[in-house]
């Protein structure tokens, strides 16, 4: 439930790779969503106003207090519909159905249209992967992550 017009919800996991190695990182995610496209909503559309992102970082992604007392990410995931240094935009929650046709669950594949990130592992080979939604829609969003695949291509 987003009551602030700016809500980031995410999942993170640590992975181990060979140390001191550079990679091109791509993501292939599948979600289940019942949000039709082209609808209007408070603060943003319920489908297009909820951006799905994925990222990679050497630092564990975590919420930290900023000087104004708000929780913010300690890695640059970007803001709402924009990616950041550590994350790319994969897509949004809108499915293939038009607004007004009811809520029907569909799976939707998101891969960021070929976007990638680059990272060089440290001496431990540890990296953090994360994915989540960056919402400007001020109400309830529901989705299921049905697949999260990450590819590491050595550079």
Cα dist from 117 to 71, 77, 110, 155, whole Å: 25, 12, 15, 12
What does pTM read for this prediction? 0.92
Which of these, 55, 44, 37, lies nearest to 5 by C-alpha position? 44
Close Cβ partners of 145 (under 8 Å, ≥ 6 residues apart): 11, 29, 30, 31, 131
Residue 30, token pair as written in the block: 């599948």
pLDDT level of residue 6 (50, 70, 90 thresholds)? confident
Close Cβ partners of 122 (under 8 Å, ≥ 6 residues apart): 19, 20, 58
Residue 138 has pLDDT above 70, yes or no: no
Residue 60 has pLDDT above 70, yes or no: yes
- Coil vs helix vs strand at 13: strand
Percent of the chain scored above 70 by pLDDT? 97
Which of these, 136, 147, 148, lies nearest to 48 by C-alpha position? 136
User: 38: alpha, beta or left, given left = phi > 0 and alpha = psi -120 to 50?
Assistant: left
pLDDT value of residue 132: 95
Which of these, 142, 48, 37, 145, lies nearest to 96 by C-alpha position? 37
Which of these, 42, 139, 32, lies nearest to 93 by C-alpha position? 32
């Amino acid at each position: 439930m987003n009551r602030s017009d700016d809500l980031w919800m995410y999942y993170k996991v640590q992975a181990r790779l060979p140390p001191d190695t550079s990679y091109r990182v791509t993501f292939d995610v599948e979600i289940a969503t019942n949000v039709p496209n082209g609808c209007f909503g408070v603060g943003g559309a319920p489908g297009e106003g909820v951006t799905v992102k994925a990222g990679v970082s050497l630092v564990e992604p975590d919420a930290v207090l900023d000087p104004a007392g708000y929780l913010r990410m300690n890695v640059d995931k970007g803001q709402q519909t924009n990616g950041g240094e550590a994350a790319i935009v994969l897509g949004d929650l809108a499915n293939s159905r038009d607004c007004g046709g009811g809520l029907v669950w569909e799976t939707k594949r998101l891969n960021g249209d070929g976007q990638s990130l680059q990272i060089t592992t440290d001496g431990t080979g540890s990296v953090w992967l994360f994915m989540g939604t960056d919402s400007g829609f001020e109400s309830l969003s529901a989705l299921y992550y049905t697949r999260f695949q990450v590819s590491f291509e050595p550079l």
